[in-house]
């Protein structure tokens, strides 16, 4: 069992200074979102300053007491907002709890809608509500362009009963799907900001087949034991920014999967959870790709993985042009890992003769403490080895004392700067430099 209390090293005097700069300003904002929307008496009105229509769900019958079903009121208000021309602000006021059942919110709309969630939207507790419905969806937006979701409020998936029924929690339970709390499908020019997402039934926030997305200043929270509760899931989406957010869940903080590209992730606090993941890719022999990803500025704490690329045997496609840089870690298992033998199955996976190609992957300025001896692992395919891997300024010491090490299988690349643990690439221009640094730095061996 990990000794979390004593898992600390001298290196974190520097790390915590960086973390305070990275995370503290956001935490201050996230703990107390300002709520400036006031409930009007009129059914809708046109604001004088910005000439925007403002609609309030309470004027369409929403009770906001957390007990009555407010779904129809939301749908009626959305229908009007979608039909009007111009800029529309649809408001869930602060201080109220709106019980919303599984709902399908469709576009296209004539208007550009700002969905202001200043109160709390809550899901039904009982999974039986989803009988006869798509159990993968709760709040499902599709085909809506120029949508902004804002307001400083909360979306609570009430996922406890779903977790208890999961086969990941109890292997005797049958494996069934569970809803993603907030899904955006085929949306363009989308902004999600200043929200708290809590205890989703499964994934918290998912973008599928979207274009031009900005997600910022979010708090995504669920217990470490909650199964499959990814924080932000990006699939078949192009042009994504995720920044200035805190994600603490039971699965990947951020997962980027099939056919996504031009993804920029910046200033993320991640942990607990499974780290930041590319993949899995290539399951069921599919062709899938993820390209042009930058993860810049992240602090990972108590995560099961750090920076991970995972692919299934038998698949095809590409994971390429991916850079992780300026990363701080504390008590992270598998801090740097590429796994082309990924197998999330109750049964062993058979060896396959094809693989997703992994190439042009960079890890730059990654430092912190590892909860496992193997701080760097590149387990690449015999058929399709990893090519053009690059390491620069890596400093990953053991959380419990002793040395860390690297593992390479069919991994080819180069390295520069100080590296600890030393790289395991078959050739490296910095071999002498690495070993001189390790042998002369007594602080590493005294941790």
Phi, psi of 257 (to 5 degrees): -130, -160
Contact 400, 373 (CB under 8 A): no
Q: d(Cα 430, Cα 422) in Å, to the nearest integer?
A: 9
Kindly report the CA angle at 236 between 329 and 201, in degrees rounded to 5? 65
Query: Which residues partner with 310 through β-bridges?
Result: 339
Catalytic residue among 185, 274, 412, 445: 274
Instruction: Give 325's Cβ-side CA count (13 Å radius).
Output: 12
Residues 6+ apart with CB under 8 A from 183: 137, 138, 139, 140, 141, 142, 206, 208
Q: d(Cα 416, Cα 426) in Å, to the nearest integer?
A: 14
Residues 6+ apart with CB under 8 A from 239: 211, 212, 213, 262
Contact 4, 331 (CB under 8 A): yes
Reference 258, options 233, 275, 276; nearest CA is 233
- State whether residue 425 is helix, strand or coil: coil
Q: d(Cα 262, Cα 431) in Å, to the nearest integer?
A: 34
Six-digit token string for 144: 């809506």
Q: Is 36 exposed, middle or buried (0-12, 13-18, 19+ CB in 10 A)?
A: exposed
Phi, psi of 131 (to 5 degrees): -60, 130
Torsion sign over Cα 86, 92, 98, 102: positive
Q: Is 142 a catalytic residue?
A: no
Residues marked as catalytic: 274
């Amino acid at each position: 069992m990990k000794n979390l209390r004593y898992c600390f090293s001298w290196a974190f005097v520097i790390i915590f200074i960086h973390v305070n700069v990275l995370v503290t300003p956001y935490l201050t904002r996230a703990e107390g979102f300002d709520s400036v929307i006031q409930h009007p008496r009129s059914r809708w009105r046109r604001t004088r300053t910005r000439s925007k229509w403002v609609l309030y769900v309470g004027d369409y019958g929403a009770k906001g007491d957390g007990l009555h079903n407010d779904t129809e009121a939301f749908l009626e208000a959305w229908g009007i907002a979608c039909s009007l021309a111009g800029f529309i602000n649809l408001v869930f006021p602060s201080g109220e709890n709106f019980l919303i059942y599984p709902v399908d919110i469709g576009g296209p709309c004539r208007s550009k809608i700002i969905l202001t969630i200043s109160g709390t939207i809550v899901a039904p507790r009982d999974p039986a509500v989803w009988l006869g419905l798509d159990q993968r969806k709760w709040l499902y937006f599709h085909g809506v362009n120029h949508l902004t979701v804002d307001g400083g409020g909360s979306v609570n998936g009430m996922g406890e009963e779903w977790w208890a029924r999961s086969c990941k929690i109890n292997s005797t339970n049958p494996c069934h799907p569970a809803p993603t709390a907030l899904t955006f499908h085929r949306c363009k020019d989308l902004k999600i900001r200043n929200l708290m997402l809590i205890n989703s039934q499964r994934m918290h926030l998912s973008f599928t087949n979207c274009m031009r997305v900005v997600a910022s200043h979010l708090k995504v929270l669920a217990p470490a034991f909650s199964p499959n509760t990814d924080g932000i899931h990006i699939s078949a989406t192009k042009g994504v920014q995720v920044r200035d957010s805190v994600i603490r869940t039971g699965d990947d903080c951020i997962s980027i999967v099939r056919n996504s590209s031009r993804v920029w992730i910046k200033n993320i606090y991640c942990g607990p959870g499974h780290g930041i993941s590319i993949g899995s890719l290539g399951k069921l022999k599919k062709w899938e790709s993820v390209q042009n990803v930058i993860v810049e500025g992240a602090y990972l704490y108590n995560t099961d993985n750090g920076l991970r690329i995972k692919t299934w045997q038998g698949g095809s496609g590409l994971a390429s042009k991916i850079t992780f840089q300026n990363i701080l870690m504390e008590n992270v298992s598998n801090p740097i890992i590429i796994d082309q033998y990924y197998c999330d199955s109750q049964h062993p996976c058979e060896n396959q003769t094809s693989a997703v190609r992994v190439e042009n992957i960079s890890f730059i300025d990654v430092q912190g403490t590892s909860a496992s001896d193997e701080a760097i692992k590149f387990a690449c395919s015999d058929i399709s080895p990893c090519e053009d891997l690059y390491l620069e300024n890596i400093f990953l010491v053991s959380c419990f004392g002793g040395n860390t090490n690297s593992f390479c299988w069919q991994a080819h690349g180069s390295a520069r700067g100080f590296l600890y643990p030393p790289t395991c690439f078959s050739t490296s221009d910095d071999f002498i430099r690495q070993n001189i640094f390790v042998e002369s730095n007594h602080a590493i061996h005294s941790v």
